[in-house]
Amino acid sequence: MATCEVCGNVYDKAFVVSMPGRNGTFDSFECAIHAMAPRCAHCDCRIIGHGIEHDNSFFCCAHCAHQAGVSAAKDRV
């Protein structure tokens, strides 16, 4: 049994997500996303797909990147 670091639920099916420089224990993907997913530099939504990275900033889509002045950004098609 482990405790989710976001909601505090003690759960027998908790899991660990590892990223460079960060590990977290969670009881659901929702909690893992809440704690670890980057946020769009323009609209502030959680980025749970590929997103776009430019100069150490993350964007959820090309539209948001364009709004922030990244004219060459393209969504993956």
Total domain count, the chain: 2
Q: Does residue 19 sit in the same domain as residue 45?
A: no
Q: Does residue 42 sit in the same domain as residue 76?
A: yes
Given a cut of 90, whether residue 34 has pLDDT beyond it is yes
Q: How far is the C-alpha of 60 from the C-alpha of 45, rounded, in Å?
A: 7
Q: Which residue carries 């948001």 as its tokens? A: 64
Q: Where in the sequence is the domain holding 4, given as residue range(s)?
A: 1-36
* CB of 37 closer than 8 Å to CB of 48: yes
Q: Which two tokens stand for residue 36?
A: 């670890």
Q: Does residue 31 sit in the same domain as residue 45?
A: no
Q: Does residue 27 sit in the same domain as residue 43?
A: no
pLDDT for the residue 24: 97
Type of residue numbered 76: R
Judge if pTM exceeds 0.75: yes
